[in-house]
Amino acid sequence: MSRCRKSIGAIFLVLVTALVTFLVTDYFSIVLPGGKVIVSRREFAQYQQAAKLLAIKDILTQRYVDKVNPQVLMDGAYKGMASSLNDPYTVYMTPDEYKSFMEQTVGSYAGIGIVVSADKDGNLVVVSPIDKDTPGAKAGLKTNDKILEVNGHKVSGKDMDKAVSLMKGPAGTYVNITVLKVGETKPVTIRIKREVITLKTVSGEMMENKIGYIRISMFDEHTYDQFKSELDKLNNEGMKALILDLRDNPGGLLEISAKVADTLLPKGIIVYTEDRYGKKEYTYSDAKYLGKPLAVLVNGGSASASEILTGAIKDHKVGTVIGTKTFGKGIVQTMAEFNDGSALKYTVSKYYTPDGYNIQGKGIMPDIVVQLPAGYNSITVPKDKDTQLKKAIEVLSSRIKG
């Protein structure tokens, strides 16, 4: 008998012996190499599952045709467990993958500067470039383009973190992205030079009729401070109304989005979440707010935290939403970090707008639907052809004069 068989047999014998005790009590003892332990009914089930996992690992490391890295096997098991939920937002990340993931919320990294997600069919799609000057935007990647391969590795919505990791790398190096462009039938491979992506997420300017304009490209740790700075600057210049541009904003930190919302909303609910047990948690705005005519620009690339902000503005009726239907991500993720630097990102709750609307898979319809001219997106469209921006100026100008 091989050592592998002896190991599996020993585990089986221990579990069978323990099962006899299990039939007469909720607690029993089992003898393991390290000594005797007392376990509960629930713990016993966990020991059974762990024993099977270790047995499979033992077989593959000792008997598989090629040499196997045990850590690769365990990472695969953890990833498989998370992916079995068919939730593209629930993923296990190795230490390197987690480090890369966290870079998106704290400042800068080297890559191509796009945000990706999974569509309803499990494809990996571009939500939006982070900024018009990123390598991805300059290479022509646009919302809903399907990414099929990264450097020859097939990718999908089920392994988006792997795809993101492959797209990143040292500044100055190149990555090959095979993409099926929207409206095309044949994929193309684009060679893109990686750059250091500095996340300046807010820009602003004063437009005609003293209408202020602020664009937020995503919500990271610095977004609120940048937003408040731009808003104060515009107010000091005599701003009479505000256009908030959330087009192609893929989201980010919910708490930062809520801080921006608090600046724009009167006292009331900004958003609330509900978990599997029906527990609700509310985020509120105070009584101090902008109090000026407001228009919000959105499109299919406006997702997650940007939809929270849009939904709150719409439900409180303090602004007019203009553009096209938003992406439709209405679920919240949290992180479980492990001592080895790895982490599990998992969906923990659903979020709802103040009126109780969950946008998951549905999105938010604008108050006024306006399409951009064919061939343009919110990043590439010139101001003189930006029909959505023009409509916002028109709406706000009439309110200022009124």
Whole-angstrom distance, CA of residue 367 vs CA of residue 300: 15
Beta-carbon contacts of residue 66 (< 8 Å; ≥ 6 apart): none
Cα 307 from chain centroid (whole Å)? 12
First to last CA, the chain: 90
For 11, half-sphere exposure in the C-beta direction (CA atoms, 13 angstrom radius) is 17
**Residue type for 65, please?**
V
How far is it, in rounded angstroms, from Cα 57 to Cα 76?
Answer: 11
d(CA 15, CA 56): 16
d(CA 123, CA 109): 25
CA distance to 67, 275, 365, per residue, from 77 (Å) = 18, 26, 40
Beta bridge partners of 273: 281, 351
Cβ neighbours for 224, distance < 8 A, ≥ 6 positions apart: 256, 259, 260
Catalytic residue, chosen from 304, 342, 378, 397, is 304
State the catalytic residue, choosing from 315, 342, 345, 397: 315
Question: Active site residue: 158, 168, 292, 329, which one?
Answer: 329
Active-site residue, 304 included: yes
Quick check: is 385 catalytic?
no
| Residue 329 a catalytic site member | yes
Cβ pair 360, 349 in contact under 8 A:
no
What is d(CA 45, CA 109) in angstroms, rounded to the nearest whole number?
Answer: 43
β-pairing, 91-93 vs 343-352, is: antiparallel
Secondary element (H or E) of residue 5: helix 3-22
Active site residues: 304, 315, 329
